[in-house]
Amino acid sequence: MKTDIKSTLENYIFVLPAVVIFSVFYIIPFIAVFMLGFYEWDGILALKDAMFIGLANFKEIFFQDPSWWQAMWNATYITLIALTLQNIVAFLLAWACDREIRCKNFYRVVFFIPPVLSEMVVGMAWRFIINDVDGANLVNRMLISIGLPQLVHSWLSDPKTALTTVAVVHCWKGFGWGFLIFLAGLQTIPRELYEAARVDGANAWHSFKNITIPMMLPVIVLVAILTVLGTMQAFVLIIGLVGGELAGHTSVPVLRILASMRGSSRFGYACAQGISFGMVLVIISFIQYRFSKHTRQA
């Protein structure tokens, strides 16, 4: 009995530092922000002068704020593109670099350059690449040179294409992370499994389907969850590329929250938006987690 209690206490010590830091620096601010969601406060007056308004902020978000839901939809759209385009490319690249090919190290370094660059630079550089008025118009020129002049477009100014263009640039910036994590995951698959499969007569596609994918499943889920969380919260890139929300077409939740905080000085409302946003993310992530557990058990 004594050793049991001692053992349990020892186990607690492992998580103690994390829990302490977490409680102080996350839980306390979280409670503050959560409570502020129920108040009308401009962020400047003394806190004691904030006005309690109950669920009014939340009611407004859910029923009277179409710009919020447009922002959510835009973020979802970008995230869907990220989940597919970004992660498939990342996986393929990681798989390619896992094999024995030349210049492997070169690629591993180059693919990580996009995440390293600051978002400001990425926005400016890609605006330069894509835009015709204040840039070099490279994309359109390339399209013309490969014989597709009818596809020439004002990619960033046209409301129909602006969001997709932003999404693609975002994928470009983000795939380096997926690449890295997938690569790490691929490295931990024991080589013997592949050897054994080859001896048994399996070809490349077979071993990919029956060894790589199942062993990588937890990593794939991990990357998917991280992708959703990261992409839904993106916003700096949008300002760099299209200067703002383009009448709502490139609006995203974080930009809306910042607008509430700074533009309209409605700190309480911004907190309510933040909490609503968080709830949505939690729901999405848990659905992902449950889904992955299901497929693993199958």
Partner 1 sequence: MFVNRILCILLLIFNMFGCAPREETGKVTLTLWHWMTDREQAFSELAKRYEEKTGVKVNFELFAPSDAYTQKVRAAAQGTNLPDIFGILGEKRDFGSFIKAGHILDLTPYMEEGEGTWKNKFFAKALAVNEFSPENSYGVKPGIYGAPIDIMTIQMLYNKNLLKQLGLDPRKPPLTFQELLDIGKKVKEAKIQGLVSGWGELWMIDCLANNYAFNIMGKDKVLATIRGEVAYTDPDWIKVLTLFKQMQDSGILATGVVTMVNKTAEQLFANDKAVFAFNGSWCVNVYRGMNPNLDYAVMLPPQASDEHLMSIWGGAGSSFMVNARSKNKEEAVKFLEWLTDRDQQAYLAEATQNLPANKDCLGKISEVLAHFASGMDIATHPSVWGVSEFPVVIETWNKGIQAIIIKDKSPEQVAAETQKVKERELAKRKK
Partner 2 sequence: MKTGAYYKIKKIAINTLIHLFLISVAITCLYPLLWMISSSLKTQETIFRDISLFPHQFHFENYVLAWQEGGFGRNFLNSIIYTTSVVVGIVIVSSLAAYAFSRLTFPGRNVLFIMFMAAMMIPIPGSFVALYLLLNKLHLRNTPVGYILCMINVGLSTSIFLLKTFFDKMPKELEDAARIDGCSKLGIWRHVALPLAKPVLAVVVVFNALNVWNEYVLALIIFDSRNFMPLQVALQTFQGEFITRYPLLMAGLTITALPIIIVYLLMQKYIVKGVTQGAVVG
Window 139-168: residues binding partner 2 (CB under 8 A) = none
- With binding defined as CB under 8 A, does residue 266 bind partner 1? yes
Structure tokens at 240: 């760099």
Q: Determine the 3-state secondary structure of 190 from DSSP.
A: coil
Shortest gap between Cβ of 222 and partner 2 (angstroms)?
A: 5
Give the separation between CA 200 and CA 208, rounded to whole angstroms.
14
Measured CA angle at 87 (ends 194, 298), to 5 deg: 60
Stretch that binds partner 1, among 80-88, 145-153, 155-163, 289-297 (CB under 8 A): 155-163
Q: Which is closer to partner 1, CB of 108 or CB of 249?
A: 249
Of 71, 94, 122, 162, the one binding partner 1 (CB under 8 A) is 162
Q: Determine the 3-state secondary structure of 265 from DSSP.
A: coil
- Give Cα separations from 176 to 73, 80, 88, 250 (angstroms): 25, 17, 12, 24
Q: Which is closer to partner 1, CB of 10 or CB of 158?
A: 158
* Angle, helices 213-232/87-98, rounded to nearest 10 degrees: 140
Give the separation between CA 49 and CA 173, rounded to whole angstroms.
43
Query: What character string, x for contact with partner 1 (CB under 8 A) and - otherwise, covers 217-256?
Result: ----------------------x-xxxxxxxxx-------
Stretch that binds partner 2, among 80-88, 106-114, 153-161, 239-247 (CB under 8 A): 106-114
Shortest gap between Cβ of 247 and partner 1 (angstroms)?
A: 4
Do residues 256 and 247 lie in contact, with contact meaning Cβ atoms separated by under 8 Å?
no
Of 33, 34, 42, 76, the one binding partner 1 (CB under 8 A) is 42
Stretch that binds partner 2, among 54-62, 79-87, 90-98, 148-156 (CB under 8 A): 90-98
Q: Which is closer to partner 1, CB of 23 or CB of 264?
A: 264
Query: What character string, x for contact with partner 1 (CB under 8 A) and - otherwise, covers 45-74?
Result: xxx-x--------------x--x-------
Of 68, 91, 126, 155, the one binding partner 2 (CB under 8 A) is 126
Q: Which of residues 49-88 bind partner 2 (CB under 8 A)?
A: none
- With binding defined as CB under 8 A, does residue 279 bind partner 2? yes
Structure tokens at 286: 């848990």
DSSP string, 108-166: HHHTTHHHHS-HHHHHHHHHHHH-SSSS--HHHHHHHHTT-GGG---TTTSHHHHHHHH
Give the separation between CA 192 and CA 128, rounded to whole angstroms.
48
Interacting residues toward partner 1 by CB under 8 A: 42-47, 49, 64, 67, 131-134, 154, 156-159, 162, 239, 241-249, 259, 262-266
